[in-house]
Amino acid sequence: MAYSDHPRPQIERARWLSLDGAWQFAYDDDARWTGPADASFDRTITVPYAPEAPRSGIHDEGFHPVVWYRRTLELPADLAPDAAHDAILHFGAIDYKSDVWINGQHAASHIGGHTPVRVRLAPFMTGGSLDIVVRAEDDPLDMMKPRGKQDWLAAPHGIWYPRTTGIWQTVFVEQVGRSHIERLQWTPDFAKFEIRLDTRIAAPDGHRLRVRLWLGGRVLVEDEYGLKGRDTSRVIALPDPGIDDARADFVWSPEHPQLIDAELFLVDANGDVVDEVKSYTALRAVSTANGRFIMNGRSYFLRLVLDQGYWREGVMTASDEELRRDVELTKALGFNGVRKHQKIENPRFLYWADVLGLLVWEEMPSAYGYSNESVTRLTAEWQEAIERDYSHPSIVAWVPFNESWGIPELPHSPVQRSYQQALYHLTKTLDPTRPVSGNDGWEQIATDIFAVHDYHHSGAILHERYGSAPAFKDTLTTFRSAGRALAIDGHPFAGQPVMLTEFGGIAYFMGTEAGWGYSTAQDAEDFVERYADVLSGVTDSELLAGYCYTQLTDTYQEQNGVLTMDRKPKADIEAIRAANLGVAIERLPQHPLGYNARWLKTQAERGN
């Protein structure tokens, strides 16, 4: 297949230009400047890397609460706004509060460090000249904002890492029609063999939307319908072959990551195409039932790994090649998914997860204090994250809270309990099609998945605690994860799927860097033995519906990865894969990324 290189492949237009690269840059530590005329740019930064990252060319991890950027360029004629076209400037993410000026005029403000910023350019341009100025404010000591693993101390400590200030995801500009598709969402209905398309259109009444769906180069559906108002919902029936064996060719899973390509054409009253978008979706369903995670109508055991999403040279920013390589390595190690921990990851990672077949739990970066302000900030940004990533088939669960971070008095505070319940129900309202892990790890109230964090180093003890339903009944009353109860009084375990969503954390120090782990291996052989032991306590369980091992890579001082921070395996990949699958090495599936025979046959027939 032809892979997309677009920063946002789910709503891709042909005419776009990356603005990554050299930008003017300045620190404004005292927040003295109020606009572009005040700013004095004294250095150059490589966007999209934050100034804390070595690849930025600055590599300054100090406290700098306000930063400024500037980029001046001449847009090509096929990108600049004109009578028939607008242009949109996209920032993948700017941490935390941002203001954007275009050609000296204030054009946009945004709050939230993990979600996109978009700016229409036509109101501020008369030709192709484009002068962009960005101010980003990111108080390193503010505990009331969603900040994830970004440390508030001068140097990383414990489980927290270097900060990320300002622009940290791709910047690009694209040309759109003056009438254009603003957003789209795909919702598959596996049981009915249908896909719902929800669109928001910036256009007057009288336009029509033409939709074409493809499967492996074959047209599945062509549909066209009139639009009235900006929001439209349309259910598209797929040609249903009926029998499950034939239906399987349409279905997306880690073993068979079949995508359905889409083309959307916005047509005006004269019959002219005024906007054209490429996208994709997939036929995939997830739910929970009878203590199990269900995918595509069948019980499916989750083998996840905790993925912090940090890189030595880029901090929270990676190249596209690095993002793809992480997906491939995760699958090669025998995992079928990741829990992206305390980070809303670059859409390119989700694209590769969609294309290559990797499940993703998306988790909201936490605030670390509770206040009305923290509630407002986190709730608003979480809604933006769900909207951005709703259509990715790889995402199979949402995680609004982790370990009561930001709601520390959850057991005793009715207000904080209401907040946790409200965010669970808000998430289910915005997306009723995916399970929600309401407070991953402990102190469960409202949740679809009963997620437990337990770092005991013995597989036998883990099996004793989670090997069966009777064993878990005892664990519920006797075990305290980091001193915290697994469920809160008045909200007992209600038969949800039980998953061990943090465990392991075995450290093996391959270099000279100082660090720590939850237990320590002496060499590669010892690492494999310890790994196989803790995994056996989980994979042999009659109760557990899945697990999430801590963690994929070493991350700064946290040296408990299966891979080093430079993505080098700490032990034989086949041995790790065998432990994850609970089989002997000689019985491993033939394909290293876990694809089934049907998918391999399909790919061979397509010449891929």
5 inside domain? no
Looking at residue 253, the DSSP 8-state letter turns out to be: E
Nearest to 577 by CA among 521, 531, 534, 544: 531
If one counts the domains in the chain, the total is 3
- pLDDT for 608 equals 78
490 inside domain? yes
Domain check: are 220 and 78 in the same one?
no
Burial class (CB in 10 A: 0-12, 13-18, 19+), 84: exposed
3-state secondary structure of 377: helix
**pLDDT tens, 392-433?**
999 999 999 999 999 999 999 999 999 999 999 999 999 999
Q: What angle do CA 405, 347, 197 make, to 5 degrees?
A: 105
539 inside domain? yes
Q: How confident is the model at residue 1 (pLDDT cuts 50, 70, 90)?
A: low
**pLDDT tens, 355-385?**
999 999 999 999 999 999 999 999 999 999 9
143 inside domain? yes
Contact 382, 115 (CB under 8 A): no
Collect all residues with Cβ–Cβ distance below 8 Å to 570 and sequence separation of at least 6: 508, 510, 524, 527, 561, 562, 563, 564
Contact 171, 133 (CB under 8 A): no
Give the global pTM: 0.97
Domain check: are 320 and 363 in the same one?
yes
- 165: domain CATH number is 2.60.120.260
Domain check: are 162 and 120 in the same one?
yes
- 414: domain CATH number is 3.20.20.80
Q: How confident is the model at residue 607 (pLDDT cuts 50, 70, 90)?
A: confident
Distance CA 552, CA 572 (A): 14
Q: Which amino acid is at 593?
A: L
Distance CA 145, CA 149 (A): 12
Domain check: are 224 and 311 in the same one?
no
Domain check: are 276 and 305 in the same one?
no
Range of the domain at 144: 21-169
Among 107, 135, 169, the domain boundary falls at 169
**pLDDT tens, 317-347?**
999 999 999 999 999 999 999 999 999 999 9
Domain check: are 509 and 382 in the same one?
yes
Q: How confident is the model at residue 512 (pLDDT cuts 50, 70, 90)?
A: low
Domain check: are 195 and 52 in the same one?
no
**pLDDT tens, 272-289?**
999 999 999 999 999 999
- 197: domain CATH number is 2.60.40.10
